[in-house]
Amino acid sequence: MNKISSVFQDKKAFIPFVTAGDPSLAITKELVLSMAKAGADLIELGIPFSDPVAEGPVIQEADYRALAGGVTTDKIFAMVEELRKECRIPIAFMTYINPIYTYGVEVFMANCRTAQVDAIIVPDMPYEEKEEIKPLCDQYGITIISMIAPTSKERIHRIAKEAEGFLYCVSSMGVTGVRSELGSSADAMIAQVREVTKIPCAIGFGISTPEQAKAMAEIADGVIVGSAIVRLVGEHGEACVPYVTDYVRRMKEACNQCQ
Amino acid sequence: MKNGRFGVHGGQYIPETLMNAVIELEKAYHHYKEDVEFTLELEDLLKNYAGRPSLLYHAKKMTEDLGGAKIYLKREDLNHTGSHKINNVLGQVLLAKKMGKTRVIAETGAGQHGVATATAAALLGLECEIFMGKEDTERQALNVYRMELLGAKVHTVTSGTQTLKDAVNETLREWTKRVEDTHYVLGSVMGPHPFPMIVRDFQNIIGKEVKEQLLEKEGRLPDALLACVGGGSNAMGLFYEFIPDTKVRLIGCEAAGLGVDTDKTAATMSTGSMGIFHGMKSYFCQDEYGQIAPVYSISAGLDYPGIGPEHANLHDTGRAEYVPVTDQEAVDAFEYLARMEGIIPAIESAHAVAYARILAPTMGKDQIIVINLSGRGDKDVAAIARYRGVQLYE
């Protein structure tokens, strides 16, 4: 069991997402530290991309803000290295294939190892294309998090069998962003996963309220929340840390309620 | 890594939500391409609706004026809806209908692909929604109204640079929201497999006709083929048939904007590097961190930071050449062709005309150039007037 899978042992994991560099890397570092203290089990850290096609407007805006502020992949690596002096919470980078490919896959993975980044989530790299980075991820010990979606159907078995760390289950159709109604397909998707593997499943896309988090934690091993947090960061800017911390605490409590 | 590769380029780099849709599309395409009924229906639409075959016109005055190679224009501008885009769109919308889809969505830059898609959707009875960057809706306002006249809903895209690349982003996002009943009619030889192959095959009719028409007129193959490239569909349509004829030079004309040594350019081959974006590995204008660069060209249809993967491979293997053409050269060529031949080309196609003006004089009178006149210039008249500082009142 690797460091990522162990996050899900004996508890429902809460996984918050923030875009690195929004509103600044200093705040991102503070956010990670205080989210960890507030009960987050794993942090998803977005490396902003100019054209994030899997994101809804909230995270798109965060990416634009971060890039406009001069954030680069190098500066993000440096920030995580600093962070590691204080905190060992598992971290997964969430970014698109181009920032990894253009940076150089090997350098990227080597830097991930140096900064002790544990995993990587690449929404525009489906099962068929994962060989693009897998050999170097394996070499440097970086876990690739695979995704399944409501349209995956017969693909789920194949993807789940080869998945590592945890399986990212996309709750509903479309891009990231808060939804009042979550799709009803997560239950069936996870049942399909369970036919072939015991890998932990975390549900993401659309979750924002403690009620939704609790409901999703009932059927999965973890809950991922992005846009709701990024929206708080967008609203409060430099002053966002206490708001986000409080939100993460409430969401983690909601996850705990279903044990 | 096997799906839809052209050398190292191509592939299917898209969200998992869309994977079954592209797999289903590929299966359906392979099935219908061999289906006699589908083939006859498409041939009938191309002939009796789009007006094919398009003319291969000998530009005598231009030939004499340039004093070199004999110049032919492939008149895709005479197709219904005014550009080569209709070839691909009729194929894809018919395919979508056969697949049981009831709705099509598409991106558009200059508006030509959007108009063509709206047209085919109206004819074949499918719902249609078009995504167009805000900047493009302003410079091509007439085409927005045209699409609405045809019954399409036009969404103005305000994210990112508000041009073609952002329209593609938004159409991809829309497709992940609603994929079951919806086909994405991609407008160029780009995106994830199988789109580069499907669009190339539907555009291949251009090169096939050129070959036949030229053999009839001249009894031989051309020496050089010229076409503008943004994503590269009209160029691929012209080139593909001639790839095995290695003596025929294939030349793609990229939009250099204000020049390849400025940051106001969209010349991907001249200024870009390898990357993975919009579902494909290819060349892109980007920075060292893989952030896609804001690109610029006077031509909304060429204002795109990437190029189709098959072009990237033709570039790598040296089979095709890619040359930059500036706004200034394109506008000059736009006016030149209007006065010389009485033909107003699309500002996109004017990039190919511009390079012909440089190339033809260096070639012998016994040599032949074919320029793909991919679209007509009516849509560009107002923008060219603005470029020349002329105030138009409508």
Residue contacts between A and B (CB atoms, under 8 Å): 123
Identify the pLDDT of residue A229.
98
State yes or no: is B254 an active-site residue. no
- Chain B interface, mutation test: which of A67, A124, A148, most B Cβ atoms within 10 Å? A124
Identify the pLDDT of residue B1.
43
Residues of chain B neighbouring A72 (CB-CB closer than 8 A): 289
Residues of chain B neighbouring A62 (CB-CB closer than 8 A): none
Give the number of domains in chain A: 1
The answer to whether the CB atoms of B19 and A123 lie below 8 A apart is: no
Domain of A88?
3-256
State yes or no: is B208 an active-site residue. no
Residues of chain B neighbouring A99 (CB-CB closer than 8 A): 289-291
Helix (H) or strand (E) holding A233: helix A227-236
Picking from A162, A227, A216, the residue whose alpha carbon sits closest to that of residue A190 is A216
What's the DSSP call for residue A128?
Answer: G
Q: Shortest CB distance from A103 goes to which of B159, B166, B289?
A: B289
User: What are the C-alpha distances in Å from B303 to residues A82, B68, B162, B232, B312?
Assistant: 41, 31, 11, 12, 17
SS3 for chain B, per residue? CCCCEECCEEEEECCHHHHHHHHHHHHHHHHHHCCHHHHHHHHHHHHHCCCCCCCEEECHHHHHHHCCCEEEEEEHHHCHHHECHHHHHHHHHHHHHHCCCCEEEEEECCCHHHHHHHHHHHHHCCEEEEEEEHHHHHHCHHHHHHHHHCCCEEEEECCCCCCHHHHHHHHHHHHHHCCCCEEECCCCCCCCCCHHHHHHHHHCHHHHHHHHHHHHHHCCCCCEEEEEECCCHHHHHHHHHHCCCCCCEEEEEEEEECCCCCCCCCCHHHHCEEEEECEEEEEECECCCCCECCCCCCCCCCCCCECCHHHHHHHHHCCEEEEEEEHHHHHHHHHHHHHHHCCCECHHHHHHHHHHHHHHHHCCCCCEEEEEECEECHHHHHHHHHHCCCCCCC
The answer to whether the CB atoms of A124 and B160 lie below 8 A apart is: no
Q: What is the pLDDT of residues A118-140, one digit of tens each?
A: 999 999 999 999 999 999 999 99
- Does the structure show a pLDDT above 60 at A3? yes
Helix (H) or strand (E) holding A96: none
What are the residues of chain A with a beta carbon less than 8 Å away from any beta carbon of chain B? 49-51, 53-54, 56-57, 60, 64, 67, 72-74, 96-103, 123-129, 131-132, 147-153, 155, 159, 170, 173-175
Under a CB-based contact definition with an 8 Å cutoff, are residues A207 and A231 in contact? no
- ipTM metric: 0.97
The answer to whether the CB atoms of A127 and B16 lie below 8 A apart is: yes
What's the DSSP call for residue A127?
Answer: G
State yes or no: is B273 an active-site residue. no
Q: What is the DSSP pairing of strand B279-284 with strand B273-277?
A: antiparallel
The catalytic residue among B70, B85, B97, B379 is: B85
Identify the pLDDT of residue A182.
82
pLDDT classification of A1: cutoffs 50, 70, 90: low
Identify the pLDDT of residue A259.
61
Q: Which pTM value belongs to this model?
A: 0.97
Instruction: Return the bridge partners of B105, or none.
Output: B129, B184
Q: Any idea what the CATH number is for the domain that residue A174 is in? A: 3.20.20.70
Q: What is the pLDDT of residues A43-97, one digit of tens each?
A: 999 999 999 999 999 999 999 999 999 999 999 999 999 999 999 999 999 999 9
Taking chain B (394 residues) in runs of 10, the rounded mean pLDDT of each run is 85 97 98 98 98 98 98 98 97 98 95 96 98 91 94 96 94 96 98 98 98 98 98 98 98 98 96 98 98 94 96 98 98 98 98 98 98 96 93 73
Å between B13 CA and nearest CA of chain A: 5
